[in-house]
Structure 1
Amino acid sequence: MFVKICGITNEDDALLAVAMGADAVGFIFAPSTRQVAPQRVYDITRRLPPEVLTVGVFRDELPSRVVEVAHAAGVKAVQLHGRETPAQTAEVAGHFRWVIKVFAAGADELPRADRYGTDVIMVDAPHPGSGEVFDWDLAGDAPDSLKLILAGGLDPTNVGAAIREVEPWGVDVATGVEREPGKKDPIKVMRFIEQARAAAPVAYRGHDVGPYDHEFE
């Protein structure tokens, strides 16, 4: 189970998430109470282990601006959280190995998400960052061919149930593991990751093969 801790604003929280076993950490460049400057993110990303996926989150920015800021910040992946078109998404994807396109639950575009040219998509609540839980059945509108990251109102108390119901490839959390806006709670981060790992189905691959590796390939 791929686990991303988003809304990181400081080095301590980034290192905490990594120490607790997060696969990815996200930094928000879009307008938000958790927005961080590219230089600050660069100072953080250069201190993280190379195997950790660092993600820059953008909303409705020009592709050229996304590329410029992401490179300045030193992130490895980009998350597009707005009304980006398939052409704009593809333009950004030409500069990064990993691009995560986000769709609101119930959005008309979700069933056609495979038109955006990304292997990984995220389904979030209609109001991102609100901490609201949506009807998880709506995640079923996503094409089966894509890796699905589930977000929106997840926290240590419900992430296990969400994984068992939706069976996503990964989960994403920001507000659900915070002590206050922009500051993570170590206990919540630890419990979220523990609950996510415990609920993840393990595909059978034979006696001599370990559990399925959910890391980016």
Structure 2
Amino acid sequence: MFVKICGITNEDDALLAVAMGADAVGFIFAPSERQIAPQKAYDITRRLPPEVLTVGVFRNELPARVVEIAHKAGVKAVQLHGRETPAQSKEIAGHFRWTIKAFAAGDENLPSADQYGTDMILLDAPDPGSGKVFDWNLAGDAPSQLKLILAGGLNPENVGAAIAEVEPWGVDVASGVESRPGKKDPIAVMRFVANAKAAAPEQYLGDDEGPYNWDFE
């Protein structure tokens, strides 16, 4: 089960997420109370082990700016969290090995998510960052061949139930493991990762004993 801790604003929280077993950490470059400057993100990403996927989150940004900021921040992947068109998404995806296209629950474009040139999509609440849960049945509209990352209102208490119902490839959390906006709660992060990994469907349980190395695929 792929677990991403998003909204990282400082090195301590990034190292905490890694220590607790997170597979990815996300840095928000779009306007947000969790927004981080690219240079500050770079100071963090360069200290993280290679098996951790670092993700830059953007919303309605020009493709050229996405590429520029992501490279400046040293992230390995980008997440497009706005109304990017399939053409814009494909243009950006051409510059990165891993790209995630996010969709809001109920988005009319979700059934055609396979037209955006990415193999990972994220399904979020209609109001991202609100911490509100949406109807998980809406995940059924996503194309089955894509890797689905479930987000939106997840926390240590409900992530197991969410995984059992949706059977996503991964889960993503920001506000659900915070003590305040932009600051992670160590106990909540530990419990979220542990509960998510414990709830992983059998088909996602592999023979690997070590972490996945995102530098080599």
Range of TM-score over shorter length: over 0.9
Matched residue, 1:210:
207
Q: How does 1:179-190 map to 2 (within 5 A)?
A: 179-190=179-190
Matched residue, 1:112:
112
Q: How does 1:8-19 map to 2 (within 5 A)?
A: 8-19=8-19
1:39 partner amino acid: Q
Q: 2:26 aligned with 1:64, yes or no?
A: no
How far apart, CA to CA, are the structure 1 residues paired with 2:8 and 2:149? 18
Structure 1 unaligned runs (5+)?
none
2:67 partner amino acid: V
Matched residue, 1:146:
146
1:131 partner amino acid: G
Query: Percent of aligned positions with the same letter in both sequences?
Result: 78
SS at match of 1:22: coil
How far apart, CA to CA, are the structure 1 residues paired with 2:37 and 2:187? 27
Shift of residue 201, structure 1, vs aligned partner: 1.2
How far apart, CA to CA, are the structure 1 residues paired with 2:105 and 2:25? 22
Structure 2 unaligned runs (5+)?
none
How far apart, CA to CA, are the structure 2 residues paired with 1:84 and 1:190? 33
Matched residue, 1:4:
4
How far apart, CA to CA, are the structure 2 residues paired with 1:109 and 1:31? 23
Q: How does 1:22-37 map to 2 (within 5 A)?
A: 22-37=22-37
Matched residue, 1:194:
194
Shift of residue 117, structure 1, vs aligned partner: 1.0
Q: Deviations over 1:70-97 (max 9, x none)?
A: 0000000000000000000011011100
| Shift in alpha-carbon separation, 1:204–1:161, aligned structure 2, 3 A | closer
SS at match of 1:203: helix
How far apart, CA to CA, are the structure 2 residues paired with 1:211 and 1:142? 28
Q: How does 1:136-175 map to 2 (within 5 A)?
A: 136-175=136-175
Shift of residue 212, structure 1, vs aligned partner: 10
| Shift in alpha-carbon separation, 1:214–1:19, aligned structure 2, 3 A | closer
TM-score (norm 1): 0.95
Matched residue, 1:127:
127
How far apart, CA to CA, are the structure 2 residues paired with 1:57 and 1:121? 13
Matched residue, 1:79:
79
How far apart, CA to CA, are the structure 1 residues paired with 2:123 and 2:106? 9
TM-score (norm 2): 0.95
